[in-house]
Structure 1
Amino acid sequence: MTNLDDLVNWFEDKNKVMIALSGGVDSALVAYAAFQKLGKYAIAVTADYKTLSKEELKTAQDVCSEIGIQQLFLDYDELENEDFTKNDSNRCFHCRMELGNHLIELAKEYNVQIIVDGTNIDDLGDYRPGLEALKQNGIRSPLVETGFSKSKIRDTAKSIGLSVFDKPSNSCLASRIPWGQRVTAEKLTRIEFGETIVKQLTKLKQVRVRDLNGTAKIEVDKEMICIFDKSILDQISEKLKLIGFSTVEIDPEGYKPGKINVIAD
């Protein structure tokens, strides 16, 4: 039975470790385990690469405060990377290669030999070119190596009191733009504002606003679609059009990760 001890003991013979920490529960649990074993020799690193929402960055800071772990920030702009902004099916690969390069440079600066992330065994079944990039950069995944699934991660995080134990999975804002449509700062801004607006008006936690050539396609859990009555939909449409969307629609199929991973014209 996989348990927290397995994860904590994974760090047993590691002198100093850097954890790539986003605002999610997976990397939070890894950071917690590393800190339990290594204390000040565990360092969390959060990348502000301009395609992560402010909400995620704030959560990452809160998690590090909860754990008590030192946090460093990487600050760079993915929108300066043409391989990323052209947004083909390898976008995530280019994103993670760039992140890996920055992490490796920072690790050298802090004399760290091992960099880890929050990939878990459930991630291995999806199409995730970013995982290949991490592997090429020598970044290790303790949750995979100790057999943690997403549900096990959430249960463990809850048992130790991490506030993000039930936080919905998230991904970078660029994932809301179909492959083949260029990633721009303008699109990312309206997507981030759009999701904030929908969350505020519906009180839902899991929201995606896909940007399909200017159309805002809103995805929420299928059983929650019923709350979009005419009044709420009118309010959302009005506000989303003010921030640059041309039309607004609700996806009747509901939220599904990676739904728009197709080449769009």
Structure 2
Amino acid sequence: MTTLENLANWFEDKNKVMIALSGGVDSALVAYAAFQKLGNSAIAVTADYKTLSAEELDTAKQICSEIGIQQLLLDYSELENEDFTKNDSNRCFHCRMELGEHLVKLANEHNVDVIVDGTNLDDLGDFRPGIEALKQNGIRSPLVETNFSKSKIRETAKMIGLSVHDKPSNSCLASRIPWGQRVTAEKLIRIEFSETIVKQLTNVKQVRVRDIDGSARIEVEKHMISKFDEMILKQLTEKLKMIGFNSVEVDQEGYKPGKINVIAD
């Protein structure tokens, strides 16, 4: 039995399932397997909240279209949640706790008996308070329960033809703001615009623009730093200053997840 069969069979005894689908490969594979087993009794839900970029939302819609699964959109603003906007080390916990509550409410309205997400084995090794929050809301992780690592997910997604099989991992826009610096709509908008500008000018796929007290620190994978020559950097500085940043630099150490998870003074 293949690992994909194991994943699909996980849904065998479920009547109606809701998948929390972002725009990444993990939840896409879960949605695919659920739809293969349950058809229209599997529903995908994407939270269209303020820390999700328009690019991620478009990708989530595209995934559902590829799979053929019904998609519902949850529309709310986590910026109204003071526990979230104060941006301490529990930001992800508060965000996922609120998401979990919205998902449970929606699941009850649609007579869903289980909600699942795209958490995989590799996620368990990181500092991820959000996973604990979802667990507290009864949300299950089929990829963990059927022993899927990130590499196995990508391999399986490629085999079945999901367009996101090689999509770089992403995280919410608030993760670009150091703990202790407040999350605001203004910061999120300029971060999103900046990352789009960097991608357009350099063709680099994995980009983080960290908002450090109003300064933009661009992170890309180390072997991509050479793309930022003097001319590109000049253009980026002009454009990013136009949308509100006061200075621009490229992090010479390269991209590393969770690099700014420290409490700012």
Q: Is this a same-fold pair by TM over 0.5?
A: yes
- Whether 2:36 is the aligned partner of 1:22: answer no
Alignment of 1:185-200 (within 5 A): 185-200=185-200
Q: Residue type matched to 1:264 in 2? A: A
Deviation at 1:49, TM superposition (A): 1.3
- Whether 2:252 is the aligned partner of 1:252: answer yes
What is the aligned partner in structure 2 of residue 66 from structure 1? Answer: 66
Deviation at 1:2, TM superposition (A): 6.0
Return the alpha-carbon distance in structure 2 between the equivalents of residues 21 and 258 of structure 1: 22
Q: Tell me the alpha carbon deviations over residues 110-154 of structure 1, each in whole angstroms, 9 at most, x when there is no partner.
A: 000100000000000000000110110110000000000000000
8 A Cα contact 1:225 1:254, kept in partner: yes
Alignment of 1:230-245 (within 5 A): 230-245=230-245
Q: Residue type matched to 1:134 in 2? A: L
Return the alpha-carbon distance in structure 1 between the equivalents of residues 62 and 227 of structure 2: 31
8 A Cα contact 1:122 1:150, kept in partner: yes
Return the alpha-carbon distance in structure 2 between the equivalents of residues 244 and 261 of structure 1: 23
Q: Residue type matched to 1:85 in 2? A: T
Alignment of 1:1-265 (within 5 A): 3-265=3-265
Return the alpha-carbon distance in structure 2 between the equivalents of residues 2 and 97 of structure 1: 34
Return the alpha-carbon distance in structure 2 between the equivalents of residues 192 and 211 of structure 1: 11
Return the alpha-carbon distance in structure 2 between the equivalents of residues 86 and 48 of structure 1: 21
Q: TM-score with structure 2 length normalisation?
A: 0.99
Give the % identical residues.
82
Return the alpha-carbon distance in structure 2 between the equivalents of residues 113 and 178 of structure 1: 37
* RMSD over aligned Cα atoms: 0.7
SS of corresponding position for 1:124? helix
8 A Cα contact 1:2 1:147, kept in partner: no
Return the alpha-carbon distance in structure 2 between the equivalents of residues 118 and 192 of structure 1: 23
8 A Cα contact 1:48 1:74, kept in partner: yes
Deviation at 1:227, TM superposition (A): 1.1
SS of corresponding position for 1:44? strand
Return the alpha-carbon distance in structure 2 between the equivalents of residues 257 and 147 of structure 1: 23
Residue segments in structure 2 that go unaligned for 5+ positions in a row: none
8 A Cα contact 1:2 1:146, kept in partner: no
SS of corresponding position for 1:204? coil
Q: TM-score with structure 1 length normalisation?
A: 0.99
Q: Residue type matched to 1:202 in 2? A: T
Return the alpha-carbon distance in structure 2 between the equivalents of residues 113 and 80 of structure 1: 29
Return the alpha-carbon distance in structure 2 between the equivalents of residues 201 and 33 of structure 1: 37
Q: Tell me the alpha carbon deviations over residues 179-229 of structure 1, each in whole angstroms, 9 at most, x when there is no partner.
A: 000000000000000000000000010000000001100000001101110
Q: Tell me the alpha carbon deviations over residues 226-256 of structure 1, each in whole angstroms, 9 at most, x when there is no partner.
A: 1110000000000000000000000011001
